[in-house]
């Protein structure tokens, strides 16, 4: 006899309550949601008395400037010797190859997959994929309540960083009344709103502004402005002293132009002959994750990305065709 169907949330709650040891991780090139979720989840598990560790490859460090103040001292960069006993928890990770680490991909690894990417490949043993959550942190916020964990100030700040970065400071389409209720609760739990804003959006290195200037100077528009593209080349990084991670966020400036349906930032990688494409949709009819997937990447309807070796001009044609096919 089968018992009443359990929701994915119930299943994850039960898994976490029963788990002995945990290892928590997130996707490579982590963003605010990845890091905030990692920190908040780690603290939630410790509040439950769990033996838990955070794992991220050393190649992700140093982090972008705005995340360097986060309390990530407990993050380990090597597989723990007792990994066989640990349940792996993936946060904000649409597919397992976004954390390309062999020891986490071994056969038989017990995996809990908690994420909000609608195209999540459900690679976990147990999956909690909530496509309409604004960020993974929003799922964790609900999970904390289910687990009876009280949100501390440090948890609230980690969750808040995740929330405001993934919603573009409450401006993207994924922003809901729930996101604002969550923000309100987190602020009541002690978030220093202005302090976090300063940390994330001010006090940034000058080379980042110089990189933005170059990106804006390179803007090209296609198909009557429907597609707006900037291109950052290796010299743009070399001559300004900007880091690759300083290009994050540049694409958001491109979608401010009237008539734009899709904004794209293409940046040449510094270490190999390939390009990273960041796509943003401003027209609700376009799902840029479809275009990203056609290039081997993925993401959300409104924000997606891929890394490709396709030559630049061919890549432009590919994106134009991908946009045209949807309009
Ligand atoms: Mn996210």
The mean pLDDT values, 10 residues at a time, for the chain of 327 residues are 71 96 95 98 98 96 92 96 96 86 88 94 96 97 98 98 96 93 98 96 93 97 96 97 91 90 96 94 94 93 94 97 96
Give yes or no for a contact between 159 and 36, defined as CB atoms under 8 angstroms apart.
yes
Domain end (from 200, 222, 257): 200
**pLDDT attached to residue 281:** 94
Give me the number of domains the chain comprises: 2
Residues 107-132 have pLDDT tens digits of: 889 999 999 998 899 999 999 999 99
For ligand 1, the distance from its centroid to the CA atom of residue 300, given in whole angstroms, is 9
b/e per residue 122-134 (b: at least 16 CB within 10 A):
ebbebbbbbeebb
Q: Count Cβ atoms within 10 A of the Cβ of residue 110 and give its class: 0-12 exposed, 13-18 middle, 19 or more buried.
A: middle
Rg (CA), the chain: 20
Q: Tell me if 14 is assigned to some domain.
A: yes
Give me ligand 1 centre to Cα 239, in Å.
32
Q: Provide the residue range defining the domain that includes 213.
A: 207-324
Q: What's the confidence (pLDDT) of residue 121?
A: 94
Q: What is the pLDDT, as a whole number, of residue 87?
A: 97
The C-alpha angle 184, 163, 180, rounded to 5 degrees, equals 30
Give a yes or no: residue 290 inside a domain. yes
Sign of CA dihedral 23, 28, 33, 35: positive
Supply the DSSP string of 108-167, one letter for each residue: T--EEEEE--TT----SSEEEE-TTSSSHHHHHHHHHHHHT----HHHHHHHHHHHHHHT
Residue 314 belongs to a domain:
yes
pLDDT the model gives residue 224? 94
With respect to residue 1, please indicate whether it lies within any of the assigned structural domains: no
319 φ/ψ angles, rounded to the nearest 5 degrees: -70, -40
Centre of ligand 1 to C-alpha 118, Å, is 11
CATH number at residue 238: 3.10.310.30
Buried b (16+ CB within 10 A) or exposed e, 288-314: bbbbbbebebbbbbbbbbbebebeeee
CA-CA distance, 44 to 62, in Å (whole number)? 25
Instruction: Write out the residues surrounding ion ligand 1, Cβ under 5 A.
Output: 33, 92, 135-136, 166
| Domain match, 192 and 213 both | no
Same domain, 32 and 163: yes
Does the reported pTM lie above 0.75? yes
Query: Percent of the chain beyond pLDDT 70?
Result: 98
Query: 166 alpha carbon to ligand 1 midpoint, in Å?
Result: 6
**213 and 155 both lie in a single domain:** no
Residue 103 within any structural domain of the chain? yes
CA distances from 127 to 92, 95, 224 (A): 12, 12, 43
Same domain, 85 and 177: yes
> In sequence order, what DSSP letters do the residues of 198-261 get, joined into one string?
HHHHSS--HHHHHHHHHHHHT-EEETTTTEEEEEE-HHHHHHHT--GGGGTTHHHHHTTSTT-S
Instruction: Tell me: do 145 and 269 sit in the same domain.
Output: no
Whether 231 and 218 have beta carbons less than 8 Å apart is answered as: yes
Give the distance (Å) from ligand 1 centre to CA of residue 41: 14
Q: For the purposes of burial, counting CB atoms within 10 Å of the CB of 148, is it exposed (0-12), middle (13-18) or buried (19 or more)?
A: exposed
Q: Are residues 192 and 224 in the same domain?
A: no
Q: Is residue 2 part of a domain?
A: no
Structure confidence at residue 1 (pLDDT): 43
Q: Is residue 264 part of a domain?
A: yes
């Amino acid at each position: 006899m089968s018992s009443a169907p359990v929701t994915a949330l119930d299943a994850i709650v039960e898994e976490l309550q029963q788990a002995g040891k945990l290892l928590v991780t997130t996707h490579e090139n982590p963003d605010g949601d990845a890091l905030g979720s990692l920190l908040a989840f780690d603290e939630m598990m410790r509040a439950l008395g769990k033996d838990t560790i955070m794992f991220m490859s050393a190649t992700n460090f140093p982090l972008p400037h705005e995340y360097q103040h986060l309390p990530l001292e407990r993050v380990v960069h090597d597989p723990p010797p007792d990994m066989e006993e640990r349940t792996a928890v993936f946060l904000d990770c649409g597919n397992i190859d976004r954390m390309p680490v062999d020891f986490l991909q071994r056969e038989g690894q017990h995996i809990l997959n908690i994420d909000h990417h609608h195209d999540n490949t459900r690679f976990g043993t147990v999956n909690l994929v909530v496509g309409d959550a604004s960020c993974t942190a929003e799922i964790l916020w609900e999970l904390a309540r289910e687990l009876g964990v009280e949100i501390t100030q440090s948890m609230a700040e980690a969750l808040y960083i995740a929330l405001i970065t993934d919603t573009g400071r409450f401006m993207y389409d994924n922003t809901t009344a729930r996101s604002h209720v969550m923000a309100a609760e987190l602020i009541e739990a002690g978030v220093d709103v202005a302090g976090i804003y300063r940390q994330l959006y001010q006090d940034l290195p000058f080379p980042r502004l110089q990189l933005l200037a170059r990106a804006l100077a390179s803007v090209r528009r296609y198909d009557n402005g429907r597609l707006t593209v900037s291109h950052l080349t290796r010299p743009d990084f070399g001559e300004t002293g900007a880091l690759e991670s300083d290009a994050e966020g540049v694409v958001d400036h491109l979608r401010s132009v009237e008539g734009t349906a899709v904004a794209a930032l293409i940046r040449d990688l510094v270490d190999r002959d390939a390009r990273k494409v960041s796509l943003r949709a401003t027209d609700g009819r376009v799902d840029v994750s479809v275009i990203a997937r056609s290039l081997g990447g993925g993401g959300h309807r409104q924000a997606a990305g891929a890394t490709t070796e396709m030559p630049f001009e061919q890549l432009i044609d590919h994106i134009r065709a991908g946009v045209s096919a949807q309009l």
